[in-house]
């Protein structure tokens, strides 16, 4: 029996799943990532209808295309409105003009001041809804370079159906980021400091998903950007912003501060759905693996460099696998091949056909720490606008790599509030941005977290001890 709207794995050997199962699964059982079997296409009129819609209703319009009807429209509408009511701005993701043809899309008005809230607030509600319907529980395990963890803990705290364990690289996240994970008091959320890098944390999570016995025992679920529902929720703001600037009758370009390639892949999805995006710029910090790949066709890991934009301090961009699948005309043998070579020799060549797609679909630039600081100061001086270091990467990369002609508005995705990185901001501008009033007690609340070595067995043991799903698995 074929499902009405199926998802397939990029590695070709996991079973096809429907939206609800993809939502709960995270990583596919063959190690791949799920993508929809077909990309929904919107007509020009359907795209035009996004202009001026309340953000929650725009989200329902986009996500409704990917659920195959498995989530009732009225439930989806209620969840979207609840999710976006947690934001501190009535427009949810407002556009701010900072130059003649340059706009900043502020994605940081959610509870943890980074764009991750946009997807996570909805994802938590969708997951609880499906688990309630099925009378099931899950254990969510995630890795964070700083922002995903806080967003997940904030979105899931108090959930009756999900326990959450977040691994973060010890000492490599900002105090504000850490406190967003360690101060919530609900018993179902757990922050774990790992003695390692973000890539180590991500590798631990992947290993837990690939241990099928463990995975089934604790009913493992994922909320990293490998989770398809995260990507879909991020597609919404591309439609909202582009139509506010004249799409579909006018092209719009986007520059996206990139780490795990989830946010920019959402832009690629919007384009596949018919949104006329003139250019998508991959903005990297000094960790330049993706700009190097666009330039040379070789994806080659190096050591992670610490920067003032820690959420982009990444060498393995997991969602890039989804793009490789698309650019190879959905050749799962190709994806298995390059991913095998990556885990064996930390590099692969994308090949001539994929390299050509890559250069056509994206421009890319890496931004040095010095450029980041100069950009923050320059935009502040010219437009009285204060941007955080991640956003500054997006701004500088757009200036360097833009290849869209005149008259094409350029949107810089602003992925974090400057107050989330007060030390870097103070060093750059001499001023310490203050947290919004609703976060007043964050820096003084008591913290609670576990410290563990970069060791799979130790982490698995901890997860099992906290997973309520495993104790009732046999009931
Ligand atoms: C997660 C994050 C990014 C990178 O987004 P990806 O989807 O992983 O590419 C950029 N900036 C901030 C502030 C983030 O939290």
What integer is the mean pLDDT of 310-318?
A: 87
Q: Percentage of the chain with pLDDT > 70?
A: 98
Q: Could you tell me if the CB of 311 is within 6 A of ligand 1? A: yes
Q: How many angstroms separate the alpha carbon of residue 264 from the centre of ligand 1?
A: 9
CA-closest residue to ligand 1 atom 2:
311
Cis-peptide, bond into residue 363, ω within 30° of zero = no
Pick the atom of ligand 1 nearest to 257's CA: 10
Strand 102-106 versus strand 95-99 pairing type:
antiparallel
Q: How many angstroms separate the alpha carbon of residue 470 from the centre of ligand 1?
A: 32
Q: How many angstroms separate the alpha carbon of residue 62 from the centre of ligand 1?
A: 21
- The yes-or-no answer on residue 380 being catalytic is no
Q: Could you tell me if the CB of 415 is within 6 A of ligand 1? A: yes
Place of tokens 């995705």: 413
Question: Mean of the per-residue pLDDT values for the chain?
Answer: 94
Most confident of 3-12, 112-121, 137-146, 429-438: 112-121
Could you tell me the pTM of the whole model?
Answer: 0.94
In tens, the pLDDT along 166-217 reads 999 999 888 999 999 999 999 999 999 999 988 899 899 989 988 999 999 9
CB within 8 A of 1, min separation 6: which ones? none
Catalytic member of 3, 116, 133, 380: 116
161: left (phi over 0), alpha (psi -120 to 50) or beta: alpha
CB within 8 A of 275, min separation 6: which ones? 42, 47, 238, 239, 242, 247, 248
Q: How many angstroms separate the alpha carbon of residue 54 from the centre of ligand 1?
A: 24
What domains, with CATH codes, occur in the chain?
1-475 (3.40.50.1100)
Q: Could you tell me if the CB of 142 is within 6 A of ligand 1? A: no
In tens, the pLDDT along 222-234 reads 888 789 999 999 9
In tens, the pLDDT along 102-152 reads 999 999 999 999 999 999 999 999 999 999 999 999 999 999 988 899 999
In tens, the pLDDT along 28-72 reads 989 999 999 999 999 999 999 999 999 999 999 999 999 999 999
314, pLDDT greater than 80 = yes
299: confidence class by pLDDT, cuts 50, 70, 90: very high
């Amino acid at each position: 029996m074929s499902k009405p709207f199926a998802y397939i794995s990029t590695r070709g050997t996991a079973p096809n799943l429907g939206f609800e199962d993809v939502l709960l699964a995270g990583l596919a059982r063959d190690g791949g990532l799920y993508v929809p079997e077909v990309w929904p296409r919107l007509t020009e009129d359907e795209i035009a209808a996004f202009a001026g819609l309340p953000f929650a209703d725009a989200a329902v319009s986009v996500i409704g295309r990917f659920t195959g009807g498995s989530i009732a429209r009225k439930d989806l509408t209620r969840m979207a409105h609840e999710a976006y009511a947690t934001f501190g701005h009535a427009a949810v993701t407002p556009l701010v003009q900072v130059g003649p043809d340059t706009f900043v899309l502020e994605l940081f008005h959610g509870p943890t001041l980074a764009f991750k809230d946009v997807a996570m607030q909805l994802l938590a509600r969708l997951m609880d809804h499906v688990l309630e319907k099925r009378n099931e529980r899950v254990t969510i395990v995630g890795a964070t370079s700083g922002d995903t963890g806080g967003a997940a803990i904030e979105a899931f705290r108090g959930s009756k159906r999900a326990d959450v364990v977040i691994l973060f690289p010890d000492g490599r996240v900002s105090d504000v980021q850490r406190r967003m994970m360690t101060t919530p008091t609900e018993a179902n959320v757990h922050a774990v400091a790992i003695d390692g890098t973000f890539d180590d944390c991500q590798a631990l999570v992947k290993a837990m998903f690939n241990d099928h016995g463990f995975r089934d025992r604790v009913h493992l679920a994922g909320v990293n950007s490998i989770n398809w529902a995260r990507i879909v929720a991020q597609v919404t703001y591309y439609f909202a912003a582009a139509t506010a600037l004249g799409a579909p009758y006018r092209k719009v370009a986007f520059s996206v501060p990139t780490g795990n390639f989830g946010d920019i892949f959402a832009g690629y999805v919007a384009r596949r759905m018919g949104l006329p995006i003139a250019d998508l710029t991959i903005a990297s910090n000094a960790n330049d693996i993706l700009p190097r790949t666009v330039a040379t066709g070789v994806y080659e890991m190096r050591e992670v460099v610490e920067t003032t934009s820690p959420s982009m301090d990444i060498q393995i961009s997991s969602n890039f696998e989804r793009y490789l699948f698309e650019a190879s005309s959905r050749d799962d043998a190709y994806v298995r091949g390059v991913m095998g070579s990556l885990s064996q020799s930390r590099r692969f060549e994308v090949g001539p056909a994929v390299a050509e797609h890559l250069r056509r679909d994206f421009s890319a630039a890496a931004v040095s720490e010095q450029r980041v600081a100069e950009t923050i100061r320059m935009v502040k001086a010219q437009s009285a606008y204060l941007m955080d270091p991640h956003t500054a990467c997006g701004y500088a990369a757009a200036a360097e790599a833009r290849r869209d002609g005149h008259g094409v508005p350029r949107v810089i995705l602003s992925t974090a509030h400057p107050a989330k990185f007060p030390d870097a901001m103070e060093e750059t501008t001499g001023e310490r941005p203050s947290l919004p009033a609703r976060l007043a007690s964050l820096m003084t609340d008591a913290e609670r977290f576990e410290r563990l070595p970069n060791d799979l067995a130790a982490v698995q043991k901890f997860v099992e001890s906290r997973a309520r799903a495993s104790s009732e698995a046999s009931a």
